[in-house]
């Protein structure tokens, strides 16, 4: 059976659905949700999720920025995603201080970093 003129084929519908799923997943990742589940703020924990990072961001740059706070353990950029990173502290209290201080910190004059708690 052929589709009527103007109707999408099942292949076109599948491609569109896949594209919508990819866009929804990217939005969840940008919001700090790597679980693939529901969105929303994660409870405070020792790992921070940084988004809206400029393309030229390096682990060394983020390490220098977050190293001003005691307890910094590790900075990890996400492979193939220049705009997101995880920053781990020794404990939740230290992460809270860094998050509150660096939320909306302008890494470049036009680009403010967003910091949230990573989802577990």
Crossing angle between the packed helical segments 92-102 and 59-66, to the nearest 10 degrees: 100
Task: With residue 51 as reference, give the H or E element that holds it.
Answer: strand 47-51
Which CATH number belongs to the domain containing residue 96 in this structure? 3.30.70.330
pLDDT for 5 equals: 65
- pTM of the full predicted structure? 0.67
Do residues 98 and 89 touch, judged by C-beta distance below 8 A? yes
Q: 87 lies in which domain range?
A: 47-117
Q: Read off the pLDDT of residues 4-51 as tens digits, 9 standing for 90 and up.
A: 666 667 777 777 776 776 666 666 555 555 544 434 578 999 999 999
Do residues 86 and 47 touch, judged by C-beta distance below 8 A? yes
The whole-angstrom separation of Cα 102 and Cα 42 is 17
Q: Regarding predicted confidence, which is higher, 106 or 15?
A: 106
Residue 107 lies in a domain: yes
Q: Read off the pLDDT of residues 51-94 as tens digits, 9 standing for 90 and up.
A: 999 999 999 999 999 999 999 999 999 999 989 999 999 999 99
State the total domains in the chain: 1
């Amino acid at each position: 059976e052929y589709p009527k003129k103007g109707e999408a084929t099942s292949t076109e519908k599948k491609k569109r659905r896949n594209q919508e799923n990819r866009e929804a997943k990217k939005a969840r990742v940008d919001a700090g949700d790597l679980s693939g589940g529901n969105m929303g703020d994660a409870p405070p924990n020792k790992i921070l999720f940084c988004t809206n990072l400029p393309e030229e961001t390096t682990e060394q740059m983020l390490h220098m920025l977050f190293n001003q706070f005691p307890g910094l353990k590790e900075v990890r950029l996400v492979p193939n995603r220049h705009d997101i990173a995880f920053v781990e502290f020794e404990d939740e209290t230290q992460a809270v201080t860094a998050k509150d201080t660096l939320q909306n910190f302008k890494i470049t004059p036009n680009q403010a970093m967003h910091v949230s708690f990573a989802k577990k």
